[in-house]
Amino acid sequence: MMRTLAAMLLLAAWLVASATVSAQSDTGAVPAAPDDGGPRHWEVTDISSGLNLREQPSTSSRIVLTYPPGTILSNLGCQRTDDKVWCDVQKLGGGPRGYVAATYIRPAVAPDGSVPTGPDNSALRAGQGDFDATGKIPCSQVKGQPSSLCDFGVSRAGSGYATVVVTKPDGVSRSLYFVRGQLLGADTSQADGYSTTSSEK
């Protein structure tokens, strides 16, 4: 009885694995965009020579640049063209936008070990005042000035995706955008005296 049960479990596992491989290699399903439940980011993989970013979804289109393995790309949607699946991408943190062959990318794993899917709605929630946590943090108007306390609120979207809104004593607010646990940008400008955005622990 136990041997029969074990054999059935092994068979079921093999069938599931076979169905998964078939769905990826035979049918070539087009991966979903984040708004449709797809991964937020891709990782370049399985190509030692690097992955070409092209202007259009075609092997005859001009190569814009080449991504080395391990590069993280934003998922901007995928499509099928001439029996080949292409994904519209942009390197995390900025850079030119274009198309890569879906064969050489996989859903990117976040630092916490998860694969974030669906849209990152943290900025939208923060703009509506829908925070997961609030409090006060030390802050200063200009680097080197004595610090005071500023109000903050953070809206999280899981796996290191979040928007932090800091409100200074003069009532001016600044939003900080975190992706995969890294500060990616802020709603600042050179006119405000903030030419660059950086973080440190």
pLDDT digits 0-9 by tens, 172-187: 999 999 999 999 999 8
Q: Is the per-residue pLDDT at 12 higher than 90?
A: no
- Residues 67 and 99 sit within 8 Å (Cβ to Cβ): no
What Rg do the C-alpha atoms of the chain give, in angstroms?
A: 22
Burial class (CB in 10 A: 0-12, 13-18, 19+), 188: middle
Annotation: CATH topology of 28-118: SH3 type barrels. (2.30.30)
Percent of the chain at pLDDT exceeding 70: 79
Read off the pLDDT band of 28 (50, 70, 90).
low
Q: Look at residue 18 and tell me whether its pLDDT is greater than 90.
A: no
194 pLDDT higher than 70? no
Name the pTM for this structure: 0.77
Cβ atoms 122, 180 nearer than 8 A: no
- Alpha-carbon gap, residue 83 to 85, rounded angstroms: 7
The one-letter amino acid at 140: S
Looking at the chain, the domain(s) classified CATH 2.30.30.40 span 28-118
